[in-house]
Amino acid sequence: MNRNSSNHRKDLPFDDAAPPGSLRAEQKQLTRRRIVQAARTCFLADGVAETGFNEIARRAGVSRATVYLHFPGKQPLLLALLEEDWEAQRVLFASAPWPTDSELAGAFSRWLARMVKAYRARRESMGLYALVIAQDPATHLRLSEQRRALLAELGSRFPAFAVAGEADPERRVAAFLMLSQIEQFCMLATIENWGAEAVAGADLLGRAIAAFVAPR
């Protein structure tokens, strides 16, 4: 009897082993997102060390046990925040100009301006990422993977950025340096709260990127 009952439970649609795309899986993902957003709010308002899981659970509208079910500690939560922002960064890079765009330098300049605006929207979260990187050495590997993904996105448009498997070290370094300039400009414009400097910087860097991707 018990064995039959157990088999019956396995067939229920809301079993823990529900396949991806099922209603239960979607609800679990929504709960996870609520917890991550609640953690971001708490960490930014009160600090990571001062934030307890009870407060995160209260803001997310779930039990403390549910928070622990998804995230056994603060470090996984911080990493989830970082991954969320990395995904947003990949979306931004997916909106980069195409070679067919007219006046490519201006197109890159406008793209950089959108990037700065997006970075500023997440300005307060930047301090959290230093904690993730300092406490989790594996994050360095993920950061490298993120940069390769960004290069691949740009490389799908411009051969100068398509350096995956490239044998020439100078080409690889040149692509990574240009990517670093893009990231550093957006971060500086955000941290320093540049006004006119951000506009001038976007124009300068836009011209530099256009020259970098120009056919040789």
- So where are the chain's domains? 1-72, 73-216
Report the mean per-residue pLDDT for the chain: 86
pLDDT reported for residue 24: 78
With bands split at pLDDT 50, 70 and 90, how would you rate the model's confidence at 9? very low
pLDDT reported for residue 18: 52
Tokens linked to 213 = 């991707």
Tokens linked to 18 = 């529900």
Tokens linked to 31 = 């709960």
Rounded (10°) angle between helices 74-93 and 138-155: 10
Would you say residue 198 has pLDDT above 50? yes
Reference 38, options 26, 22, 55; nearest CA is 55
Question: With contact defined as beta carbons under 8 Å apart, do 155 and 178 qualify?
Answer: no
Would you say residue 12 has pLDDT above 50? no
Most trustworthy range by pLDDT among 69-78, 114-123, 173-182, 186-195: 173-182
With bands split at pLDDT 50, 70 and 90, how would you rate the model's confidence at 20? low
| Residues contacting 15, CB < 8 A, separation 6+ | 9, 24
Q: For 130-155, what is each residue's pLDDT tens digit?
A: 777 777 777 888 888 999 999 999 99
With bands split at pLDDT 50, 70 and 90, how would you rate the model's confidence at 3? very low
With bands split at pLDDT 50, 70 and 90, how would you rate the model's confidence at 127? confident
pLDDT reported for residue 126: 79
Domain 73-216 class in CATH: mainly alpha
Mean pLDDT, residues 15-29 taken together: 68
Alpha-carbon separation of residue 129 from 1, 119, 121, 123, 174 (angstroms): 53, 13, 15, 11, 26
Radius of gyration, CA atoms only, the chain: 22
- Distance from CA of residue 124 to its chain's centroid? 14
Ramachandran angles phi, psi of 118, nearest 5°: -70, -40
Question: With contact defined as beta carbons under 8 Å apart, do 54 and 108 qualify?
Answer: no
Q: Which is the CATH superfamily of the domain at 1-72?
A: Homeodomain-like (1.10.10.60)
